Amino acid sequence: MNTIKLYTEHLSKFVNERDMSSIHKELIEAKRTLLDGSGLGSDFLGWVDLPNNVSAEELENIKKDVKTLSGKAKIFVVIGIGGSYLGARAVIEALQSEFSPFENNSEHPYIVYAGHTLSEDYYYQLLQLLDKSDYAVAVISKSGTTTEPAVAFRIIKSHMEQKYGKEEAARRTIAITDARRGALHDIAIQSGYHIYVIPDNVGGRFSVLTPVGLLPIAMAGYDIEKLLRGAQDMRKVCVDKDSYEENPAMLYAALRNILYRKGRKVEILANFVPHLKYISEWWKQLYGESEGKDGKGIMPHSLSFTTDLHSMGQYVQDGERLMFETVLSVAKPQHEVSIPKDEQNLDGINYLLGKTLTEINHNAELGTIMAHYDGNVPVLRIEVPSVDEYVLGQLIYFFEFACGISGYTLKVNPFDQPGVEAYKKNMFRLLGKPGYESK
Ligand code: PA5
């Protein structure tokens, strides 16, 4: 298969054979725990088989909604936060042109996001855009009670109803939520929205292959069946294989736990193409929320190179040695751009003539990896053959599976997030929410 690969040559002075073989037993045990559902958080393991469990009926419904709403909306607002937002954005931004907002020839609506911020100016500006554009909405919340998307939806629902009237606004609204519970579920039933269900046994940050991710990704014009095929193929490898050579998730989980035990408490996910910025954001949530608990866990951080080599590059090269780096490397671009010839060569870059930009970028990447390794940063490289739906499906499943076994190896519950409640309680008390008054 056209598959992602892990390269470990810039780890050799930090990780040895003995480290690898001694942690292997722990990983096998963690994997067994994950697959037989005997570990902490086992009510939330629905994502493991998800790539094979999306029904033809669900895919058909998504296609129908995409067709209907693409016909009448230029903008599609995706309302959600955390796991109900980042997966869709990661895939869409990896695939779409950086300049899509300036292109208006697409058959599909342009996706904008809401519910991930409480910034007043953001909503003012969004409403200005929605005033002058035809739009539709997906409001996504598993609990159906999260404050940020609830606030955003109330503002946008009111705008839609004024713009289109209640009935047409309802036809332009999709709710993705719990099958039975939550305020969003109740609003959706009462208003007659088309509802997609988030399975009970799939937690937010593992839900990108449910309608949470699939509907917005399809609405943006991308092939969700191809995405699922990538995830299915990676699932087979992750579930069936145990060796480091055959199962990249085992290898990744092993390396990060070994490095963590040797004092590397921060993992930097570095990319060399800006399209992958939101893959990093999704990855940070996946690992940060799954592993950062009980006083433990690698802190996930991300950088976009070469941009950040001119800022944070200094710290990585020369600062505290608390990190390791995982470089997300893209082998092949979708398009070619060549460097034009200039006889005068005043900029001194004629030595690059005949090279593609990707060749130059790959040399920047290799140069960076070598420099960071020399500066005592362990560097792991994940190579993706290209950025398309099939490969992104693989990458998503690979990171999810590795996260599950890595979390169990760390001996935490990778599927809960008790820590995110603390800010909510304070915010509710400060805002005077009934039931949260100060004692
Ligand atoms: O991974 C998680 O569980 C969280 O990030 C949630 O997805 C996030 O808090 C949003 O929750 P909800 O979908 O219930 O609105």
Model confidence pLDDT, tens digit, residues 297-326: 999 999 999 999 999 999 999 999 999 999
Average pLDDT over residues 47-57: 96
Confidence of residue 437 (pLDDT cuts 50, 70, 90): confident
Structure-token match 């996930």, residue found: 300
Per the CB < 8 A criterion, the answer to whether 86 and 278 are in contact is yes
Does residue 1 have a pLDDT over 90?
A: no
**Alpha-carbon distance values, 210 to 23, 48, 58, 218 (Å):** 33, 12, 9, 12
Q: Tell me what the mean pLDDT of segment 207-234 comes to.
A: 98
Exposed, middle or buried: residue 258 (CB in 10 Å: 0-12, 13-18, 19+)?
buried
Which residue, among 248, 276, 270, has the nearest Cα to 98 in the 3D structure? 276
What average pLDDT does this structure show over 16-33? Answer: 96
pLDDT digit string, tens, across residues 238-289: 999 999 999 999 999 999 999 999 999 999 999 999 999 999 999 999 999 9
Give ligand 1 pocket residues (Cβ under 6 A).
81-84, 141-143, 146, 149, 203-205, 289, 417
Active site residue 289: yes
pLDDT in tens, 133-173: 999 999 999 998 999 999 999 999 999 999 999 999 999 99
State the distance from the centre of ligand 1 to the C-alpha of 350, rounded, in angstroms.
Answer: 51
Q: CA 47, CA 51: separation in Å to the nearest integer?
A: 8
Helix residue spans in 241-276 (DSSP H): 248-261
CA of 242 from ligand 1 middle (Å) equals 31
Q: Is-catalytic flag, 335?
A: no
Long-range CB contacts (< 8 A, 24+ apart) of 223-228? 223/389, 224/59, 224/62, 224/389, 225/59, 226/388, 226/389, 226/390, 226/393, 227/91, 227/389, 227/390, 227/392, 227/393, 227/396, 228/51, 228/54, 228/393
Q: Does the predicted model carry a pTM greater than 0.75?
A: yes
Atom 8, ligand 1: which residue's CA is nearest? 82
296 is catalytic: no
> Quick one: DSSP state of residue 41?
T
What separation in Å is there between the alpha carbon of 37 and the centre of ligand 1?
Answer: 22
Q: Which of 63, 67, 262, 424 is catalytic?
A: 424
Q: Is 439's pLDDT higher than 80?
A: no
Residues 310, 335, 341, 439: which is the catalytic one? 310
The size of the chain, in residues, is 439
